[in-house]
Amino acid sequence: MKTNRLGIISIKLQNQPFDHSSTKLLKEIIDKHPDKEACLFSSCVDMIIPNTVPVLHLLHAKFFVGDVIITDMVSALLCKTFPALQNIFFYAQNIPWLGQENTKHKQWSDLFGLPNINIIAKNQSIYDIFSICYKQPIGISENMTYEEISRII
């Protein structure tokens, strides 16, 4: 893993399998790289976190200097306004513009065209779609595990 400071931004942590995967990933990063700083940013934690990980309110992410992993479009739009973020890794679990008929292509292209945003696709189909529409993802991670993510970032 190349980054020294890593945050995971999840607007709302609920008792969902993907949220548990995020906290497990962060815990493994902390355990395997004690010299690196890592934390979770969220505005609402509606679950019991089984792993001991540092959690800060989402407002603190604005002043975070380092790299972040984001998993939803609201986080992506927020991160676009955070000046201190070095790299934004958008974990694309699905195609975010499906069902968003009122959003113009330019808005998506402005977001995914940012030089510091990197896309990590959940599967090959999403990888191919992002490659055609915006920019080539930096890798594929089916389950967002430590092994997959550390190989990519």
Long-range contacts of 94-97 (CB under 8 A, 24+ apart): 94/122, 94/126, 95/126, 95/129
Enter the pTM of the model.
0.89
Percent of the chain, pLDDT > 70? 94
Nearest to 141 by CA among 33, 2, 22: 22
Q: Please, what is the average pLDDT of the chain? A: 88
Provide mean pLDDT across the span 105-133: 90
- pLDDT value at 61 more than 90: yes
Q: Output the pLDDT for position 3.
A: 76
Outline where 36-81 has alpha helix (H).
Answer: 73-79
Whether pLDDT at 28 is above 90: yes
Angstrom distance (rounded) from CA 40 to CA 28:
13
Nearest by Cα to 22 from 41, 44, 1? 41
Q: Name residue 10's amino acid.
A: S
- CA–CA dist 126, 38 (Å, integer): 27
For 33-55, give one letter per residue: b (16+ CB within 10 A) or e.
Answer: beeebbbbbbeebeeebeeebee
35-50: average pLDDT: 84
Given pLDDT bands bounded at 50, 70 and 90, which one contains residue 100? low
In sequence order, which ranges of the chain are alpha helices (DSSP H)?
Answer: 17-32, 73-79, 105-112, 124-133, 146-152
Q: Show the tokens assigned to 73.
A: 């479009």
pLDDT at 36 exceeding the cut of 80:
yes
What 8-state DSSP symbol labels residue 102?
T
Report percent pLDDT > 90 for the chain.
54
